[in-house]
Structure 1
């Protein structure tokens, strides 16, 4: 099965590279550092021990921030090799960790063939390979085992849907999971599902995302945005996915007269290549539009488009109420922890299987409210925007919910001491 998997990678490689080039039309970052994706490296590093942390994209990179900072403190003689698969993840890593200079270096992880992963490991020679959340790469894990490099899966989560998909790969997936030295799972349910695939050492440490601290610069940016909104109340729709913005805009427009007077809709699509598409959606409905990239001194438009990267904390800081995207349609939802950490009332759709336990607990605690569809989202937001005491209560519950789950980073670092030698 593994040989078949490797053959499929080689056969698909021309298509994969072609897709990178095609995506590079809108995101030039996809056309950079192509050699790294094939296991080819020019940069030579000094002899310091290296700890690899793999964070595939933006969400995983931001979640890795407390862990990377803790590892830098715990192992002052080591460097962190931060690997990614997307240019947005890489840009986020540079923004978060550029202050550390050469103690944090970045690279793309190569495609998962034995040849390419072998070249990667020979070049960087990491002491340990730490994978964030759900990144199980069979050939990378096999190559690490062949070189005596322990693999840890941390902040690990696995939904029932992903478990069923993983089992379809049979021995390819179970052999990879069995070769992981340790797993630090977010929840008991995640731990049970991962253990059912054969992981030998699984512990529950909680979600590192609860330990992410809002940067002061983001809070300052949020205050600047808020000042430009004047006295307007703001519904933030964060990390929206394809298909959701049209539903939200139609529902918003249909109930526009019933909102709190002058309410502002702040839309932040998850993927930057869709910024212009969403702007056209807004304008095609006759709604006035302002953009973060060309922010006026006073925002009096119907809709503000958050067309910037790395400012989600600022958007949360600036809003009165936050809807978490990816949950109106069956896409699994996004992380609501950042909104809760800033004490914001949260709305989510029905489809939150990617963050099920955290979302269910937030709803049960009164920090979040589920809505069935876009019409319910707009209806509930109108009620909350008109009721300051209800928003304050939900916000207080959100802060309490976020606070009681902190500490996963320290537990994870203590667990990693078993494999970082």
Structure 2
């Protein structure tokens, strides 16, 4: 809420990264800041236990971490009084009025980094512009992922000299060779002729659709294995139960760290493991896209050279997805019926799947 044990020294830079996605995007920025300005103290705020756990894994005690205050003036003032920043970086789209107002009142420049703005959000802001124009005027700099994002921010009254296009920092990904080796170990008990597909970062309502698709596919490919990865930890148990109750031979990471030879479904019920399981998979479906959530980041599986599928709702990563689509690496499916047909085609034609994976890798490189 803004009340916590204050760090001994003033924190030069405050980076606000709400969730896991924003934190992963912030990682290269934070590491560059640490490299260029080792004397600067950095505070990172998050809002979820999963992002907090990831932060500890990524940075340990090299940064000061605290949960973000509620966006009420009292809490924000208390927070700012304790960390005393001189510069604020907000990741992507987290425009919190009191946070921005409080920072600017202290004379702190506020930068929106890796900024993205969908047309839907831009229209909403434009309707409220008489009330929120001050919010956009308070931003010192808006560093956008793509030119359409920049154009939308410009329609909100932000002057051109404050807007830049840097590309998505999520493309700044360095995949260690150990990831591929780890992926191979995960499937060392699985026969070589078994195809593994992964449904990554699924949301409420998607698991049932994915399991239905998997059941249809198993009629054609009996040895096929699905890795099911719910986006949020509170849904781990539900995903496991759904798969088990559907009659699949089901195991999970927490009790079986390797994929079993007879597993129909393997539930990844842990955070921070997704890259390894991407590496263990032959085909990737990106969740949050059959449900109207907006999709998730295709760059990580792309960097591992995987053929990818995504549903119709990928508006949170519109431009990034378009780059992969234009290269032929990412295929959209309208619903679970199209997902079934697309997966069946790729399983039947592994050479096409490999070619798509090579195209995905080329986009990231």
Tell me if TM exceeds 0.5.
Answer: yes
1:304-348 per-position Cα deviation (integer Å, ceiling 9, x unaligned): 001110111111111001010011122211111111111111101
Question: Take 2:341 and 2:178, find their aligned partners in 1: how far apart are those partners?
Answer: 33
Matched, 1:369 2:331: yes
Does the 8 Å CA contact 1:345/1:391 hold for their aligned counterparts?
Answer: yes
Matched, 1:165 2:128: no
Question: Take 2:279 and 2:125, find their aligned partners in 1: how far apart are those partners?
Answer: 38
1:179-203 per-position Cα deviation (integer Å, ceiling 9, x unaligned): 0000100000111111211223110
1:189-239 per-position Cα deviation (integer Å, ceiling 9, x unaligned): 111111211223110000000002235664443232121333221111100
Q: Give the corresponding residue for 1:323.
A: 285
Q: How does 1:237-252 map to 2 (within 5 A)?
A: 237-252=199-214
Q: 2:146 aligns with which of 187, 198, 208?
A: 187
Q: Give the corresponding residue for 2:170.
A: 209
Query: 1:173 Cα deviation (Å)?
Result: 3.0
Q: How many residues align?
A: 361
Q: Give the corresponding residue for 1:136.
A: 95
Query: 1:121 Cα deviation (Å)?
Result: 1.1
Could you say which structure has the higher helix fraction?
1
Q: 1:61 aligns with which of 23, 28, 42?
A: 23
Does the 8 Å CA contact 1:65/1:212 hold for their aligned counterparts?
Answer: no
Does the 8 Å CA contact 2:310/2:331 hold for their aligned counterparts?
Answer: yes
Q: Give the corresponding residue for 1:221.
A: 182
Q: Give the corresponding residue for 2:236.
A: 275
| 1:255 alignment partner, SS class | helix
Query: 1:43 Cα deviation (Å)?
Result: 3.7
Does the 8 Å CA contact 2:6/2:82 hold for their aligned counterparts?
Answer: no
Question: Take 2:51 and 2:26, find their aligned partners in 1: how far apart are those partners?
Answer: 11
Distance change (3 Å), C-alpha of 1:166 and 1:221 = farther
Does the 8 Å CA contact 2:307/2:360 hold for their aligned counterparts?
Answer: yes
TM-score by length of 2: 0.95
| 2:238 alignment partner, SS class | helix
Matched, 1:107 2:66: yes
Query: 1:67 Cα deviation (Å)?
Result: 1.0
Question: Take 2:216 and 2:278, find their aligned partners in 1: how far apart are those partners?
Answer: 25
Query: 1:171 Cα deviation (Å)?
Result: 3.8
Query: 1:376 Cα deviation (Å)?
Result: 1.5
Q: 2:345 aligns with which of 368, 383, 390?
A: 383
Question: Take 1:111 and 1:274, find their aligned partners in 2: how far apart are those partners?
Answer: 25
CA RMSD of aligned residues (A): 1.6
Q: 2:254 aligns with which of 279, 282, 293?
A: 293
Does the 8 Å CA contact 1:265/1:303 hold for their aligned counterparts?
Answer: yes
Q: Give the corresponding residue for 1:150.
A: 109
Query: 1:91 Cα deviation (Å)?
Result: 0.9
Does the 8 Å CA contact 1:218/1:311 hold for their aligned counterparts?
Answer: no
1:118-166 per-position Cα deviation (integer Å, ceiling 9, x unaligned): 1111111112110000011111111111100110000000101222233
TM-score by length of 1: 0.82
Question: Take 2:173 and 2:86, find their aligned partners in 1: how far apart are those partners?
Answer: 25
Q: How does 1:36-115 map to 2 (within 5 A)?
A: 38-47=1-10, 49-98=11-60, 101=61, 103-115=62-74
1:343-381 per-position Cα deviation (integer Å, ceiling 9, x unaligned): 111101111111111112211111111112112112211
Does the 8 Å CA contact 1:347/1:371 hold for their aligned counterparts?
Answer: yes
Matched, 1:199 2:158: yes
| 1:228 alignment partner, SS class | coil
Does the 8 Å CA contact 1:240/1:324 hold for their aligned counterparts?
Answer: yes
Question: Take 2:177 and 2:58, find their aligned partners in 1: how far apart are those partners?
Answer: 13
Does the 8 Å CA contact 1:290/1:305 hold for their aligned counterparts?
Answer: yes
Question: Take 1:168 and 1:216, find their aligned partners in 2: how far apart are those partners?
Answer: 49
| 1:154 alignment partner, SS class | strand
